[in-house]
């Protein structure tokens, strides 16, 4: 009976600490356009363990499906920042930010306004 209880306890403990191979998460990533979308998604999907990465321009949300056994949100955030895009957790360096196209300079208020005007015109 002790062996059965021991095995059961080990099984429950193992299941409780198992990592999810299809973890879903959302992180906020700064960007303003379709070029940003392509760059952000490509950086995320090239991170080992990431299965799906979809960034939405209007919400700045990067929806992820990834294998927790192979990566984590901090690693994904670092990859995204390395191509010039800030996340809530990791900010791109000036060098990384300056490597992106001029129309993608999301830290520049005028660029953000220009993209807002384009969205409104496209919506009409």
Lowest mean pLDDT among 7-11, 27-31, 44-48, 113-117: 7-11
Q: What pTM did the predictor assign?
A: 0.80
Per-residue pLDDT of 64-115, as tens digits, reads: 999 999 999 999 999 999 999 999 999 999 999 999 999 999 999 998 888 8
Rounded Cα distance, 94 and 80, in Å:
14
pLDDT of residue 17: 56
What are the chain's domains? 20-123 (3.30.70.100)
Core vs surface per residue 31-46: b (16+ CB within 10 A) or e: bbbeebbebbbebbbe
pLDDT of residue 114: 82
């Amino acid at each position: 009976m002790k062996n059965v209880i021991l095995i059961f306890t080990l099984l429950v403990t193992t299941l409780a600490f198992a990592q999810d191979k299809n973890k879903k998460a959302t992180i906020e990533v700064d960007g303003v356009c379709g070029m940003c979308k392509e760059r952000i998604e490509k950086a995320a999907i090239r991170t080992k363990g990431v299965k799906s990465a979809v960034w939405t321009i209007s919400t700045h949300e990067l929806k992820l499906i990834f294998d927790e056994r192979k990566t984590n949100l901090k690693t994904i955030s670092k990859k995204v920042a390395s191509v010039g895009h800030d996340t809530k957790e990791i900010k791109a360096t000036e060098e990384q930010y300056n490597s992106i196209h001029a129309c993608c300079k999301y830290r520049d208020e005028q660029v953000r306004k220009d993209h807002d005007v384009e969205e409104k015109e496209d919506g009409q």
